[in-house]
């Protein structure tokens, strides 16, 4: 018999203890994910980390995890390499190509600093320029804004699949088609997408896709993966060196025979227990049912929007009007409010965990982001809307 969402919710201790509406920041860790991670650590502790059997077991496990991550986004295992976080993945990608002075990397104006700073960092090294396009509007407007921003100097487009500011799921396949047709390398940051919306890199057609598990999948921080499309592997240079990247090397000739697939971009030790938790978080979502999760989060978004329209009509809703672009993120701005103080008050008064965000890095405009993951209840949304109305209505 299929478990109810309430039964799965009981496996999230933090969500049972608090009103946990911050999966877009970091999701509550499920007990099965914790137990998988602890199990690997325990065996390593009891048997020894350099035990020949354990060493082989960990290497084999990492390849099984690679296959699970690949299947989650409809990629091949040989198209996946592991990193510590998405910023590390973007830094790696930023150094894979021979940039010319004046080459442009195109990003949206809704990007997280983690997607921006790696490309600002290479500007003084290579003479590149980071350009922006407007990510606001309906689906057709976003596509048009992107197309208009492309020019003969655009070499790479780096865009979040789901914007952290307002939860917009960009029309990724259309954008990638436009870019790739002009020879532009496409990089999608899936930090807010994994576990929030469906990801199919074959359908999207991107050159690169990056994902982590600590947000909507409710896994641990400190592990992430990068997809590089098979036809891009040979053209991308390997920017960093270390044990693990090679099939062999020659100390006399100073040559390296690279691994033939994406593993050539990995080097050094891997924190396998954490990656085991990564795969377990994917399994946990799969057990609940990804389509079931999508249906539930769409219901919650509609419910939350209606609750705010009725109870907090003075709130400016930042999440898209276009339902095709909506996800489990609901964001709003209260004119004249101190959004950081608002987040602190609802936590201290009601035990509700939400997050403030800078929604416009140029003007400094701030807002509040509410994460409506599958385990949220309607009565929790009601309580949040009532508390926001009480706190902000006092100042009107």
Report yes or no: 198 and 218 within 8 Å, Cβ to Cβ: no
Three-state DSSP state, 105: strand
Three-state DSSP state, 210: strand
Domain endpoint, select from 268, 285, 302:
285
Structural domain boundaries enclosing 357: 5-28+289-393
Model confidence band, residue 1 (pLDDT cutoffs 50, 70, 90): low
pLDDT at 265 over 80: yes
**How many Å apart are CA 15 and CA 298, to the nearest integer?**
19
Domain shared by 94 and 52, yes or no: yes
Report yes or no: 273 and 40 within 8 Å, Cβ to Cβ: yes
**How many Å apart are CA 211 and CA 222, to the nearest integer?**
12
**How many Å apart are CA 113 and CA 152, to the nearest integer?**
26
pTM passes above 0.85: yes
Model confidence band, residue 271 (pLDDT cutoffs 50, 70, 90): confident
Domain endpoint, select from 285, 316, 343:
285
Domain shared by 265 and 306, yes or no: no
Domain endpoint, select from 270, 285, 300:
285
Domain shared by 153 and 108, yes or no: yes
In this predicted model, what pLDDT tens digit does every residue of 320-341 receive, in sequence order? 999 999 999 999 999 999 999 9
Domain shared by 245 and 352, yes or no: no
Domain shared by 267 and 322, yes or no: no
Domain shared by 232 and 293, yes or no: no
Domain shared by 327 and 347, yes or no: yes
Domain shared by 293 and 279, yes or no: no
| Residue 28: closest CA among 210, 195, 224, 273 | 195
- Give the number of domains in the chain: 2
Domain shared by 329 and 238, yes or no: no
**How many Å apart are CA 109 and CA 228, to the nearest integer?**
24
In this predicted model, what pLDDT tens digit does every residue of 42-86 receive, in sequence order? 999 998 887 888 888 999 999 999 999 999 999 999 999 999 999
Dihedral sign from CA coordinates of 252, 255, 259, 260? negative
DSSP, res 162: B
In this predicted model, what pLDDT tens digit does every residue of 136-194 receive, in sequence order? 999 999 999 999 999 999 999 999 999 999 999 999 999 999 999 999 999 999 999 99
Domain shared by 40 and 74, yes or no: yes
pLDDT at 396 over 50: no
Report yes or no: 243 and 268 within 8 Å, Cβ to Cβ: yes
Domain shared by 242 and 321, yes or no: no
CATH code of residue 237: 3.40.640.10
Q: pLDDT at position 50, please?
A: 77
DSSP, res 186: E
Average pLDDT, the chain: 95
Report yes or no: 195 and 280 within 8 Å, Cβ to Cβ: no
Model confidence band, residue 394 (pLDDT cutoffs 50, 70, 90): low
Domain shared by 48 and 153, yes or no: yes
- Do the strands 80-83 and 19-20 form a parallel or antiparallel pair, or are they unpaired? unpaired
Q: pLDDT at position 269, please?
A: 83
CATH code of residue 305: 3.90.1150.10
């Amino acid at each position: 018999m299929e478990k109810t969402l309430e039964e799965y919710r009981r496996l999230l201790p933090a969500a049972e203890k608090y009103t946990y509406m911050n999966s877009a920041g970091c999701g509550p860790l499920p007990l099965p994910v914790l137990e998988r991670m602890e199990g690997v650590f325990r065996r390593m502790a009891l048997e020894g980390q350099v035990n020949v059997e354990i060493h082989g077991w960990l290497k084999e496990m990492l390849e099984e995890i690679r296959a699970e991550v690949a299947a989650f986004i409809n990629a091949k295992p040989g198209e996946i390499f592991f990193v510590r976080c998405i910023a590390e993945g973007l830094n790696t990608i930023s150094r894979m190509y021979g940039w010319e002075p004046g080459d442009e990397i195109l990003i949206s104006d809704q990007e997280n600093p983690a997607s921006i700073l790696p490309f600002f960092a290479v500007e003084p090294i290579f003479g590149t320029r980071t350009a922006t396009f407007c990510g606001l509007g309906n689906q057709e407007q976003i596509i048009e804004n992107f197309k208009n921003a492309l020019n003969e100097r655009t070499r790479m487009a780096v865009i979040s699949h789901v914007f952290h500011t307002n939860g917009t799921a960009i029309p990724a396949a259309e954008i990638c088609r436009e870019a790739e047709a002009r020879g532009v390398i496409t990089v999608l940051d899936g930090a807010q997408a994994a576990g929030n919306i469906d990801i199919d890199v074959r359908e999207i057609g991107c050159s690169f896709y990056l994902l982590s598990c600590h947000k909507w999948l409710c896994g641990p921080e400190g592990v992430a993966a990068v997809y590089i499309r098979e036809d891009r592997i040979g053209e991308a240079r390997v920017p960093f060196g270390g044990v693990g990247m090679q099939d062999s090397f020659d100390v006399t000739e100073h040559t390296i025979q690279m691994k033939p697939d994406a593993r050539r971009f990995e080097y050094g030790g891997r924190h396998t227990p954490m990656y085991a938790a990564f795969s377990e978080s994917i399994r946990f979502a799969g057990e609940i049912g990804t389509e079931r999760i999508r249906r539930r989060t769409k219901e919650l978004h509609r419910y939350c929007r209606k609750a705010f329209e009725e109870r907090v009509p003075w709130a400016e809703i930042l999440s898209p009007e276009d339902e095709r672009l909506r996800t489990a993120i609901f964001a709003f701005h209260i004119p004249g409010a101190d959004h950081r103080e608002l987040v602190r008050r609802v936590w201290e008064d009601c035990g509700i965990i939400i997050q403030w965000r800078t929604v416009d890095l140029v003007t400094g405009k701030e807002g509040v982001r509410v994460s409506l993951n599958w385990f949220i209840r309607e009565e929790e949304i009601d309580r949040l809307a009532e508390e926001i109305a009480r706190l902000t209505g006092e100042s009107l």
